[in-house]
Amino acid sequence: MSRIAVLGCGWSGIVLSIRLKKLYPEAEVICVDRNFEGGLLKSININSYLFDAGGSHVVFSRRQDVLKGILSMGGDWVSRERLSYVFFEEVRP
């Protein structure tokens, strides 16, 4: 039996692991992430405020295959309503 290790468990690593398992069903496929942080797509909590921290552009993709791939991974999805504010101050030299 073949053994395949995918380094990194962000969306890319997880999707690659799933595709490899479909291509090689007899293989043992593992996804290894040293810090268990899950790649760039994540939110962080700072003083009770939730911020998207890197990689969130994937969720807003116009490519339906990307979105379907993410949603097909199943699980209990969490939905949060958020208000966004952008502070902009024009600085003139």
What does the block give as tokens for 6? 């995918």
What is the per-residue DSSP string for 70-88?
Answer: HHTT-S-------------
Given a contact cutoff of 8 angstroms between Cβ atoms, the answer to whether 34 and 5 are in contact is no
Phi, psi dihedrals of residue 62, rounded to the nearest 5°: -85, -10
Do the domain assignments include residue 29? yes
- Domain housing 11: 3-71
Helix, strand, or coil here: 32?
Answer: strand
Helix, strand, or coil here: 52?
Answer: strand
> With a threshold of 0.75, does the pTM exceed it?
no
Distance CA 9, CA 42 (A): 12
Do the domain assignments include residue 81? no
Do the domain assignments include residue 76? no
Most confident of 21-25, 42-46, 65-69, 79-83: 21-25
Band of residue 55 on the pLDDT scale cut at 50, 70, 90: low
Beta-sheet pairing, 28-32 with 3-7: parallel
Do the domain assignments include residue 86? no
